[in-house]
Structure formats: C-alpha cells, structure tokens
Structure 1
Amino acid sequence: MTASTPGHACLVLGVGLRAHATAATLRGLWQQAKALLPAPADGFCSLAVLEGKEQHPALAGWRVPVLALPLESLRHQPVATQSARLIARYGTGSVAEAAALAAAGPQAQLLLPRRVAQDGSATLAVARRRVAPLDCCIAAACRAAALSQGATAP
C-alpha cells in the first residue's frame, strides 16, 4: 500500500480485525473505499487499529505507520455506525470508525463509514484530519504514540 504525498488530504484509515482477516481482504476494502471517497485518493497517512492488533498478519505490507490506540480513546468518538454487539464489547458502535477518528485528531471528519469485508473478518473506515498540511502526518503519529502510552485524547 502507499503512503500519501505532499499536499494530500491527510487521510487516516481505521481498521477493525478478526483473527482470520487477511492482507488481501484489507487491500480489497481499501480499493472499495477509494472508489467511494468524495475526492480521488491515492494514499493515506496512517492506519489505526485497536491496541493489541498492531502485529496482526493482515497489516503486513502496508507502508504507513500502524497506530495502536487504547480502547479508551475509541469509546467517545462520534461514530456513524451503531452495532449493538460492538457497543457491548468495546463501548463504541464501530471500532474502525472510532480508530480512524481518534487517530485523525480533534475535529476529524469521518469521510467514509465502515466498510465490512464480505467474509466479516475486517472493517475499514476513513477519516480526514483538520490541520495544516505541514503537520498532518507527523502530528498524527505523535498523537497516536501519546495515546498508546496512556495519554488521554485532547
């Protein structure tokens, strides 16, 4: 997969993964997402997952930072999808949407609600950061690092 280039829209992918998810499944979800985004998107800044999933084999081959977010940072995100099962288990209606929004930072915009893989093994959502282009990718990586070390979201 490719990272974004200077002048990009600073997109962050949020991903939810089950044990049997594959890299091909995630690539397929990204291809679907690209076709549905309001503006053409060739790449993205980072990929955000629930802490503990950052070493999942399906993430191999993505050439962007994989940001591992603690569950607490996902619980209060304003997600569009409301899955009763996920609310009961994680405290959010969509892990993918919440991860994308949390990693994208304050005032992030959910561009694409979660897409679900045909086999149900993975979900993917897209958010856009609302910051100056120069600090976009660096800020996202630093913010996620702070969150993964127990800091609270600003």
Structure 2
Amino acid sequence: MKVAGLGFKQDVTLTSLREVLLAVGGSKGLAAVATISDKADAEALRQLARECGLPIKAVPAEMLAGVDTPTQSKLVTEKFGTGSVAEAAALAAAGPRARLIATRVVSQDRTATAAIAEGDGT
C-alpha cells in the first residue's frame, strides 16, 4: 500500500498541495493521503483528496513523535518530535514495515511538503 504524507501550513493552497504531490510522483497507485490529525480537515487537503479520489488518513501527533525521518526540519522537530511531518505521516499511515520511496519535497512557496511511503497497510 502506497500513501502520500503531506505536511502544510494553515494557509496552504490547493495549488501548493498539487505541486508537491506531483513532485513526489503524483497520485497514481496511491491508496490514501495522510497528514497530522489536527490538519486532516483542511479545505485544500479535502479538495486534493477529492480530485485524486483518495481517502484522507488522519495520523495522531503522538504517532508522529519519534518517527525517524531522512530529512530534518528543526522547527518541525521542535514542534512535533519528528524531522518531517510528511515523511512521518506517510510512514505511519502505510503500516508495518513501511519504507519511504520518495523523500520530502517542498513547494515553491514553502507552505507544503509531501513524501510517499509503501508498507503493509493497516
């Protein structure tokens, strides 16, 4: 099961989310998009998921804390306890033994990130 993890700022646009999803490989073959629970209802994310025909997996913040990620953001580490919300959400949502197949990319306006993980599903 392949899952795209998305991290983003509150003011993210659908355009920025589309940009990062495309940059990590697009929506083809994905089972879901995932993000931290408190942002799972964001309008831009809901629009992207609807466009792609994918469900949104909300990952609790405590599941992201401590997830080791190849890319590191100091701000994200301080706030969430993981180096990348996108990578950690993708790994957590893809299930046991998940591995990243596309590391974090950042939108040009720096409001969105995306990564893709593949795992056994949950």
Partner of 2:33: 47
TM-score for the superposition, normalised by structure 1: 0.72
Moved over 4 A (4+): none
Partner of 2:22: 31
- Distance in 1, matches of 2:5 and 2:105, equals 10
Q: Which has the higher strand share?
A: 2
List gaps (5 residues or longer) in structure 2: none
Q: Which has the higher contact order (CA 8 A, sep 6+)?
A: 2
Partner of 2:77: 87
Per the TM alignment, residue 43 of structure 1 is displaced from its structure 2 partner at its CA by 3.0
1:27 maps to a residue whose letter is: R
Aligned residues between the structures: 118
After superposition, what is the alpha-carbon deviation per residue over 1:19-51, rounded to whole angstroms, capped at 9, x for unaligned? 12111211111211117xxxxx72300111101
Partner of 1:18: 9
List gaps (5 residues or longer) in structure 1: 1-9, 36-40, 140-154
Partner of 2:63: 73
Per the TM alignment, residue 78 of structure 1 is displaced from its structure 2 partner at its CA by 2.1
- Distance in 1, matches of 2:58 and 2:48, equals 16
- Distance in 2, matches of 1:42 and 1:70, equals 25
Larger Rg: 1
Identity of aligned residues (%): 38
CA RMSD of aligned residues (A): 1.5
